């Protein structure tokens, strides 16, 4: 009788331990997914930012010569052609320090895969025109070590308008059409500003205290002379750390520069930095005259001392925006 009771007790303990293990595995899986999403969502915003700058490049080319509307010159030949006029240049040494991202850099893999960019011409359409195509090689979906990355990044990036899978589902392909997909845009421009420059808009346009509705793209020239797209509001993206100084960026008249800050990577556990995260952290900035100072406060329980502490290690994703 005693042996039977002991057997039931041991079986119950094994079932309980298995249940607890399943809970911890589920919690660990959820933590990994949240960390991946914290990397994927800033990358989604970065891709929208790159598209905005391609659109701004188109606008500049059209304003320079309306005939460019049907030429490949409407688009940059490479993504690097957007720097430094549209996207700030990221030097390799700064990239290695985590201070900025290369324009063709992917947030997954070992760095050998890059964002691919091509300018293509339509077929079977008269008149034919050019468009740009961005290809994002994805993490392997057949490898257990990268399947989580594949699932999270495809879920987040599928929100980009018009993006699609390649036939083998190992890449995402994003087509960027001509701005406004034009002839309506061309007609609008020619109505107010003639192609030959004989009727430039040289004064304010008073629309009688009315709203402009159903507008797809709005660009203004900033005080530094560069075009700024207002429909998204995002001026730039960068990566920073606690204590970094960020100069205030340029905005159009009437708009105020601001930052949106989120976690990119928290300090990984190491034998010299052994802690248990509370899951609570604060991010933000302190305003100074012409710059901001970033901060990251992460509440942790240090294993060696069994005391709560605040650490500041990690990387921040920073969106530079313009607010009203």
With a cut of 50, say whether residue 53 has pLDDT above it: yes
With a cut of 50, say whether residue 192 has pLDDT above it: no
The tokens of 99 are what? Answer: 């201070």
Please give the pLDDT value at position 117.
Answer: 94
Provide the H-helix boundaries in the chain.
2-64, 92-96, 147-157, 183-192
Please give the pLDDT value at position 108.
Answer: 81
Q: Which of 38-52, 107-121, 122-136, 173-187 has the lowest mean pLDDT?
A: 173-187
CA–CA distance, 39 with 141 (Å, rounded to integer)? 18
Q: Where are the domains of the chain?
A: 32-199, 218-324
pLDDT digits (tens, 9 = 90+) for 301-315: 777 777 887 888 888
pLDDT digits (tens, 9 = 90+) for 124-134: 777 788 899 99
In the three-class reduction of DSSP (H, G, I as helix; E, B as strand; rest coil), residue 123 is classed as coil
- pLDDT exceeding 90 applies to what percent of the chain? 7
Cβ–Cβ under 8 Å, residues 174 and 47:
yes
Please give the pLDDT value at position 120.
Answer: 92
The pLDDT of 214-225, averaged and rounded, is 64
pLDDT digits (tens, 9 = 90+) for 137-160: 988 888 777 777 888 888 888 888
* CA nearest to 81, candidates 104, 106, 100, 59: 104
With a cut of 80, say whether residue 22 has pLDDT above it: no
The tokens of 269 are what? Answer: 């556990």
Please give the pLDDT value at position 119.
Answer: 94
Please give the pLDDT value at position 80.
Answer: 92
Q: Which residues contact residue 58 at a Cβ distance below 8 angstroms, ignoring those fewer than 6 apart?
A: 74, 75, 178, 179
Q: Which residues contact residue 12 at a Cβ distance below 8 angstroms, ignoring those fewer than 6 apart?
A: none
């Amino acid at each position: 009788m005693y042996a039977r009771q002991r057997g039931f007790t041991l079986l119950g303990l094994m079932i309980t331990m298995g249940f607890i293990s399943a809970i911890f595995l589920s919690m660990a899986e959820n933590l990994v997914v949240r960390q991946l999403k914290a990397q994927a969502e800033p990358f989604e915003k970065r891709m929208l930012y790159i598209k905005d700058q391609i659109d701004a490049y188109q606008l500049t080319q059209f304003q320079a010569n309306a005939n460019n509307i049907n030429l490949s010159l409407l688009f940059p030949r490479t993504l690097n052609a957007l720097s430094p006029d549209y996207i700030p240049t990221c030097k390799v040494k700064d990239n290695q320090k985590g201070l900025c991202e290369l324009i063709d850099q992917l947030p997954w893999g070992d760095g050998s895969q890059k964002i691919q960019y091509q300018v293509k011409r339509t077929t079977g359409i008269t008149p034919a025109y050019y468009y740009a195509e961005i290809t994002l090689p994805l993490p392997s979906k057949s490898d257990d070590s990268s399947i989580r990355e594949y699932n999270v990044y495809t879920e987040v990036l599928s929100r980009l308008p018009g993006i699609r899978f390649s036939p083998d589902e190992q890449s995402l392909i994003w087509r960027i059409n001509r701005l406004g997909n034009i002839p309506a845009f061309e007609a609008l421009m020619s109505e107010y500003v003639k192609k030959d420059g004989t009727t430039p808009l040289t004064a304010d346009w008073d629309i009688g205290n009315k709203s402009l509705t159903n507008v797809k793209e709005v660009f203004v020239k900033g005080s530094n002379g560069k075009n700024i797209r207002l429909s998204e509001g995002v001026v730039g993206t960068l990566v920073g750390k606690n204590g970094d100084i960020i100069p205030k960026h340029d905005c159009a008249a009437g708009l105020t520069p601001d930052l949106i800050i989120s976690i990119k990577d928290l300090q990984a556990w190491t034998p010299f930095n052994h802690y248990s995260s509370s899951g609570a952290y604060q991010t933000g900035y302190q305003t100074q005259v012409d710059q901001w100072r970033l901060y990251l406060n992460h509440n942790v329980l240090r294993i060696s001392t069994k005391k709560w502490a605040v650490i500041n290690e990690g990387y921040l994703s920073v969106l530079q925006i313009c607010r009203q």
